[in-house]
Amino acid sequence: MSLKDKVMSEGLKLAGHPAIAGLLQDERFMKLVMTALSVPGKLTELSEDQKANLLRLLGAAPQRDVDDLKRAVRSLESEVTRLRSR
């Protein structure tokens, strides 16, 4: 069982408790929970943005450009091989 599954399972158990059920009806608490759940995605997005900014500052090519160049080189290599075999 993954950590996420375990947390969900325990959360559902707690949701049945009367004290917790009252909290779940509080709009402020639910907003806090939703904000907390969105943190991992925001951190990933932030780190991706920071990585892109650093690469841009260093003058490095984006990964998609590198991938495009690799495809072009493979295509040219196969073309050279084909022409040599004639």
Name the token pair of 4: 């996420």
Residue 59 per-residue DSSP state: T
Whether the predicted pLDDT of 68 surpasses 90: yes
Q: How confident is the model at residue 45 (pLDDT cuts 50, 70, 90)?
A: confident
Return the pLDDT at 8. Answer: 83
Q: What is the spatial distance between Cα 40 and Cα 78, in angstroms, rounded to a whole number?
A: 44
pTM above 0.85, yes or no: no
Q: What number of other Cβ atoms are within 10 A of residue 14's Cβ?
A: 13
Whether the predicted pLDDT of 14 surpasses 90: no
Whether the predicted pLDDT of 1 surpasses 80: no
What percent of the chain shows pLDDT beyond 70? 100
Q: In this structure, what are the phi and psi dihedrals at residue 65, rounded to the nearest 5 degrees?
A: -70, -40
